[in-house]
Structure 1
Amino acid sequence: MDVKDIEAVSSICCASFSYSIAHTLSEEGKETFANIAANNAFLGRMKGDNLMLVSENDKKIEGIIELKEGRHIAMLFISPERQKKGIGRKLLSSALKHAKVDTVTVSASLSSIPAYEKYGFECKGEAKESAGLVYQPMEIKLNGAKQTIK
């Protein structure tokens, strides 16, 4: 992901969030997500130890994944009209090749649990809430060869 991609990435995250998650959350949760997905927030995280990859089709960005500190999936969003086409799987597989740990975590939105389970993640503990965002802690154990996602 390049700085020039930030506006498109932010837009995809917000559209996907609105499409599949926003209706399940409080106003606080919606505001928290808007702050996390804002252009300046992405820019700040790009300067840290976060890997951000995008998927493009005909030079148009259709998905984003963010791997925080090589250990945690912080964002995985696909344009609503491009979901269920294998884009998330490809992004996740690419990001996990850069993992710095044997176990990668994600704080999955409740609606995304089935997708993460399909990719090989397992639920760890009970669902939680932080700043209005409701999530399920999940993790995947990687083998030494950095597995390919199913």
Structure 2
Amino acid sequence: MIIRKLEDRDLAQVSSVCLNSFMKSVAPSLSDVGISTFQKISSVDSFTARLKENIDILVCEENEKIQGIIELKDGRHISMLFVSPEHQKQGVGRSLLLSIMSFTTSDTITVSASLTSVNAYLSFGFVLSGGISEASGLRFQPMKLELNKG
């Protein structure tokens, strides 16, 4: 398993991993609006645009196949963490999370966790930090992780 920065050649695979994981675990609980919103966010064009922003994106790869992705915005907010369905519960998400920590610039990392991923984030040490919310059809649980930087 190799964790490395996202490259242009990865864009189609990364989009596919996000969509496949989302459609299997998150989409069944959302409206068509939420599904459409996520399809736009996870498109190749959206990833291409975000690469030009203050966002760090890492991928987990094995045998030239992307198994997972994590996206850290502004050094403090996890805006995406997806693992392909066939590689879930094998340490890929945890490895990505640990690897992205070197890019953090804050003592607190936040995430707007999909409701189906709350338990995974709890197992990573995150705590709930507000009530369930919805934006553009996407339902999420705000969570945070306090870091001991120093």
Normalised-by-shorter TM-score class? over 0.9
- Please tell me the residue identity of whatever aligns with 2:97: L
2:130 aligned residue (97, 122, 125): 125
* TM superposition score normalised by structure 2: 0.95
Aligned-residue CA RMSD (Å): 0.6
Quote how far apart the aligned CAs of 1:51 are. Answer: 0.3
- Please tell me the residue identity of whatever aligns with 1:94: S
Please list, as runs of the form range in 1=range in 2, the aligned pairs for 1:37-48 lying within 5 A after superposition.
37-48=42-53
Tell whether 2:74 aligns with 1:69: yes
1:142 aligned residue (119, 144, 147): 147
Per-residue Cα deviation, 1:59-104 (whole angstroms, up to 9, x for no partner): 1111000001101000000010010000000000011121010001
SS of aligned partner of 2:93: helix
Moved over 2 A (4+): none
Tell whether 2:91 aligns with 1:86: yes
Partner of 2:119: 114
- Please tell me the residue identity of whatever aligns with 2:59: V
Structure 2: unaligned runs, 5 residues or longer: 1-5
2:106 aligned residue (90, 101, 109): 101
Structure 2 Cα separation of the partners of residues 132 and 144 of structure 1 = 35
* TM superposition score normalised by structure 1: 0.95
Structure 1 Cα separation of the partners of residues 83 and 109 of structure 2 = 20
Partner of 1:148: none
Quote how far apart the aligned CAs of 1:125 are. Answer: 1.0
Count of residue pairs brought into register by the alignment = 145
What percentage of aligned pairs have identical amino acids?
Answer: 48
SS of aligned partner of 1:96: helix
- Please tell me the residue identity of whatever aligns with 2:76: R
Structure 1: unaligned runs, 5 residues or longer: 146-150
